């Protein structure tokens, strides 16, 4: 994300948490006190979100020193320290929760993405994210998906055409919806959702280059892969979990979209503790 966008997101988060002032810190911590703290990863996973944590502390103390102790986007099984912060003690304590919220949320998304990619390793299937993101944080969450090794699908409604069941119903059917979309004249990816092999045939006859197999069983997906025979790219979607990913990938689909990457990723456990004075 551009620096200006990161600053805006952080400013909103701090305004939400700090409001007119951090009463606890103001009441208990001397204004001139300085401190050093460590942020520690406490569970296996992929850390992501340093830019947000960094900006959080800098917004409160422009002179703060922030040290990144590990590289983002790498799986770490053992956890351990990931970031050091040194500066105003008040700024560190006031920014602690906001910085950790960004890190735990985005690292959780990256970790979920990495686990999904690991689950389909060797099959050739590509893990895609969806638009099931936190409102206002989509760019951040999609960046976290990419950091975890999965692939971003469309960013929004403006950069691809994805015909869903309701679109098809209003357009007069799957085939007619595809024909209308192709005639619309925009050069963007075009995909259509199909629930049955009959709809798959309609989509193929209309020239659909990308077909989403919606909530099909593994057996139905395998049949669809054989039936399509490479005439269109195939994406599996609906009810996908870590436990079912491997079996779905082995049907031969090209893509698997996983809404849980962003709507249900558990937060990665991270904490901030002050270091004892030297």
Domains of the chain listed by start with CATH number:
3-117+266-274 (3.90.1170.20), 151-257 (3.20.20.70)
97 in active site: yes
- In the predicted structure, residue 278 carries a pLDDT above the cut 60: no
Note whether 104 and 267 are within 8 A (CB).
yes
Percentage of the chain lying above the pLDDT 70 cut: 99
How far is residue 19's CA from residue 12's CA, in Å, rounded to a whole number? 10
Which of the two residues, 193 and 239, has the higher pLDDT score? 193
Say whether 214 is catalytic. Answer: yes
| Catalytic, out of 55, 96, 191, 193 | 193
Q: Tell me which of 61, 141, 202, 214 is the catalytic residue.
A: 214
Neighbours of 39 (CB within 10 A): 23
Q: Is residue 254 annotated as a catalytic residue, yes or no?
A: no
**Percent with pLDDT over 90 in the chain:** 96
Instruction: Tell me the pLDDT tens digit for each residue of 85-119.
Output: 999 999 999 999 999 999 999 999 999 999 999 99
Task: Indicate the average pLDDT of the chain.
Answer: 96
Is residue 277 over pLDDT 80? no
Query: Is 42 one of the catalytic residues?
Result: no
**What mean pLDDT comes out for the span 252-278?**
94
Of the listed 131, 132, 180, 231, which one is catalytic? 132
Burial class (CB in 10 A: 0-12, 13-18, 19+), 43: middle
pLDDT of 4: 85
39-71 pLDDT, tens per residue? 999 999 999 999 999 999 999 999 999 999 999
Active site residue 164: yes
Asked if 42 contacts 270 with a C-beta cutoff of 8 angstroms, the reply is yes
Catalytic residue among 34, 36, 68, 97: 97
Nearest CA among 209, 260, 265, 216 for reference residue 236 = 216
Give the active site residue among 16, 71, 164, 275. Answer: 164
161-181 pLDDT, tens per residue?
999 999 999 999 999 999 999
């Amino acid at each position: 994300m551009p620096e200006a966008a990161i600053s805006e997101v952080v400013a909103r988060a701090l305004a939400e948490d700090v409001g007119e002032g951090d009463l606890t810190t103001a009441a208990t911590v001397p204004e001139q006190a300085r401190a050093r703290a460590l942020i520690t990863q406490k569970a296996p996973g992929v850390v992501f979100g340093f830019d947000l944590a960094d900006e959080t502390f800098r917004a409160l103390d422009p002179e703060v020193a922030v040290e990144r102790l590990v590289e983002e986007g790498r799986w770490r099984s053992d956890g351990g320290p990931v970031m050091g912060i040194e500066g105003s003690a008040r700024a560190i304590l006031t920014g602690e929760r906001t910085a950790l919220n960004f890190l735990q949320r985005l690292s959780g998304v990256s970790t979920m993405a990495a686990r999904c990619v690991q689950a389909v390793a060797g099959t050739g299937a590509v893990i895609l994210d969806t638009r099931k993101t936190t409102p206002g944080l989509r760019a951040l969450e999609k960046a976290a998906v990419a950091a975890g090794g999965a692939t971003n699908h469309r960013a929004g409604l403006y950069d691809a055409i994805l015909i869903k069941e309701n679109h098809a119903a209003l357009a007069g059917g799957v085939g007619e919806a595809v024909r209308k979309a192709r005639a619309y004249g925009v050069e963007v990816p075009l995909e259509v959702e199909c629930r049955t092999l009959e709809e798959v045939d309609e989509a193929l006859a209309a020239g659909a280059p990308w077909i989403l197999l919606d909530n099909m069983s593994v057996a139905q997906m395998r049949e669809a892969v054989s039936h399509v025979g490479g005439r269109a790219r195939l994406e599996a979607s609906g009810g996908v979990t870590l436990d079912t990913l491997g079996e779905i990938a082995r049907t031969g689909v090209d893509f698997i979209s996983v809404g849980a990457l962003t709507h249900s990723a558990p937060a990665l456990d991270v904490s901030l503790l002050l270091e004892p004075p030297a």
